[in-house]
Structure 1
Amino acid sequence: MLSFHFETGDFARVRFPAKPAPLVELKLSLMMTRRSDSAVVFGRWRRDVNHRLPPTTRPLWDLLESHRGPAFLDPLTSDLEEGLEVVRSTPGAVVRSDVAGLRRLPSPWVKALMARDTQAWEILDRGLRDAYRSVMGPAWTGVRERHSAEFARFALGSAEHGVAAALSALYPTSTWQASTWHIPAFHTREVHLAGRGLTLLPTFHWTYEPLIGAWPDRPPLLVYPAGPGLPVPTTQPEGDPLADVLGSSRARILRLLARPHTTTELATDAGLSLGTTSSHSSALRRAGLITTRREGRSVQHLRTELGRMLAEAGLSFHD
């Protein structure tokens, strides 16, 4: 059983990143390839991934096991380059501490990592880059799409029913006892949030129990399996799904309203007439996707948070 002990202020400090973390998803997908369960669902995916991984990624297997891997490999950043920079700057003491949690003796290459050997860290950087390109690159559109849907589900659930209910919805089998959230698991762990809050991150390759990251100076991290429990598709749908739902003109307007526009400016940037722009803006406003306010003799249109989430979900395909 995993038990998260909330204090009063912790509910206000529950955080859900708006974008997925590339290195977290990469690490968990690589760990998933080392497992042997769910062969019917993941067997073909594992064979395909192992076939695509280039030789430069082989040193990573000195660090990754089927159910654990060093925490320094997967910082919680939404930008790949930023994450790789965080990895490269990991102090040797942190590497030694993380490696000590593995069930194997460190290889000579891992020992060189712990000693901050320059060549060893270049091998790690190359391995992570090539692994991301081979494994995450083809699936990243699907990961972003699923993350956006999960983010919206939690945000809307929190707004409508409260944070505790939204947390329960992540795990329908979880329970609350007073201010403690219990998640069924094979192992036992007590996590006292102590006013630091909790960061939630869905993963779409990992299908085992949730993983917990804990640091003395940061909120604990709960990485939980989400989605249908199937490999993320590696094919990108054709077209623009946002335009399929809203129509191309309204999708274009919603994307333009990442910054305020007057009706005239919006018509010019969207390449539409004033009357057509006004009609589309009214429809988007009624749907709660944009807001309109008067400033002097003109009006200003801007996306709402719901509009932003919808527009950014479509960016996975549009960009």
Structure 2
Amino acid sequence: MAETSLWIMAGAEDIVSSRFAVSPSDETVHLIAQLAHRRSTASPLLGRFTHRWGTIRDDPGVRALAALQREREGVDFTTPPPAGMGQSIQDDVAAMRASSLADARREIAYMIAGAPVAEEVATVLHAPDVLNRLADAIELAWDVLLRPDWPRVLAVLQRDVQHRAGRLVAHGWSAGLEDLHPKLSWEEGRIRVRDRGPQTVDLAGRGLLFVPSVFLAQGLAMSLDGPHRPWIRYPSRGTATLAETVSAPATLAPLIGAARARLLESLADPGSTTQLAGVLNSSLGAVGDHLKVLLDAGLVTRERVGRSVLYRRTELGDELIGGRRLS
């Protein structure tokens, strides 16, 4: 059978209009889906959430959220497109509560058609205040599951955005889409999405909203129709580091100290002081002090990018650490 493709017409004006954003509710819902269904593609991160999940897995609202997420698709109204990098869970939940009830009911009916759900779940999904009940469940799941780890997750997402946004603006669509997902590429002056379509969509200057995700099980989701800016959710770079505790290289720690060795190890991609503190679960002051020492020693450099100051390893720093990079 011939491979089908979806083609997205995108020009230089669409690069200017494109934005990157993060969605706390999106990450929460995808984490619920992975924990509830234990998919074969689930992230190795799941082990750290098992105990927390056990405390809320029987909540009717949480079970209803899981029922609305299939392996290859889910409802859109529980994860409205975020506005930007500063999106909070409160922003997400407020947008969800304000969603169209009629649209939500159509999505719910489609997702549970031919798939009977438990009576408690059906009670939630058919309730007059279903939007509020599901929003409450997202807030509960966020508070129990993800809030304790959000600084580290957000740091990974922010560093991914810095990497990709810089390439998109500086070098165009081909560089911006490189390694974003195997099914996504820039060909013949268009964005090609394999195994979708056949269809052609013209962005017509609207640009794309790129939303990196740590917990998106299938690795690629998109919505190109409707009132919102067309968006693509994709797997974030550096996700594997969240499943690990950054450790100091054994041969380097005695030379520069364990904390500075861990910091140098984590700089496989450039990062700000705030992001590095999140990844390392350390204080801003401590990270700032260690960065100054590494800077004075010529192991890192710093540069201002927009409103952020980013640190990156020098060639000497790479040699000391062994030249490792994030996967």
TM-score by length of 1: 0.67
Secondary structure in 2 matching 1:73: coil
The answer to whether structure 1 residue 50 and structure 2 residue 53 are counterparts is: yes
1:218-250 CA distances to partner (integer Å, 9 max, x unpaired)? 3211000123554835986223375155439x9
C-alpha displacement at 1:150, in angstroms? 0.7
Secondary structure in 2 matching 1:155: helix
Secondary structure in 2 matching 1:219: coil
The aligned counterpart of 2:229 is 219
Structure 1 residues 91 and 39, CA gap change in structure 2 (3 angstroms): closer
The aligned counterpart of 1:193 is 202
Where in structure 2 are the equivalents of 1:89-128 lying within 5 Å?
A: 89-103=98-112, 104=115, 107-112=122-127, 117-118=128-129, 120-128=130-138
Structure 1 residues 89 and 12, CA gap change in structure 2 (3 angstroms): same
> Aligned match of 1:145 in 155, 174, 186?
155
The answer to whether structure 1 residue 238 and structure 2 residue 242 are counterparts is: no
> Aligned match of 2:9 in 6, 10, 13?
6
Percent identity of paired positions between Structure 1 and Structure 2: 17
Secondary structure in 2 matching 1:96: helix
> Aligned match of 1:22 in 24, 47, 65?
24
Secondary structure in 2 matching 1:75: coil
Gaps of 5+ in 2: 246-279, 312-327
The aligned counterpart of 1:308 is 308
| Contact 2:183/2:193, CA 8 A, preserved across alignment | yes
**Number of matched pairs:** 254
AA aligned to 1:223 is R
C-alpha displacement at 1:39, in angstroms? 6.4
| Contact 1:3/1:183, CA 8 A, preserved across alignment | yes
Structure 1 residues 10 and 159, CA gap change in structure 2 (3 angstroms): closer
| Contact 1:204/1:232, CA 8 A, preserved across alignment | no
Secondary structure in 1 matching 2:73: coil
1:277-312 CA distances to partner (integer Å, 9 max, x unpaired)? xxx9xxxxx9542xxxxxxxxxxxxxx51x52649x
User: Whole-Å Cα distance in 2 between the matches of residues 42 and 287 of structure 1?
Assistant: 31
Structure 1 residues 148 and 22, CA gap change in structure 2 (3 angstroms): same
Structure whose CA Rg is larger: 1
| Contact 1:143/1:204, CA 8 A, preserved across alignment | yes
User: Whole-Å Cα distance in 2 between the matches of residues 151 and 189 of structure 1?
Assistant: 29
User: Whole-Å Cα distance in 1 between the matches of residues 218 and 43 of structure 2?
Assistant: 15
AA aligned to 1:27 is V
| Contact 2:224/2:231, CA 8 A, preserved across alignment | yes
Secondary structure in 2 matching 1:102: helix
Q: Identify, as 1 or 2, the structure richer in helix.
A: 1
> Aligned match of 1:134 in 137, 144, 150?
144
Secondary structure in 2 matching 1:84: helix
Where in structure 2 are the equivalents of 1:271-290 lying within 5 Å?
A: 287-289=302-304
Structure 1 residues 51 and 166, CA gap change in structure 2 (3 angstroms): same
Aligned-residue Cα RMSD (Å) equals 3.3
> Aligned match of 1:81 in 82, 87, 90?
90
C-alpha displacement at 1:214, in angstroms? 3.1
AA aligned to 2:292 is G
| Contact 1:205/1:232, CA 8 A, preserved across alignment | no
User: Whole-Å Cα distance in 1 between the matches of residues 198 and 96 of structure 2?
Assistant: 27
AA aligned to 2:308 is R
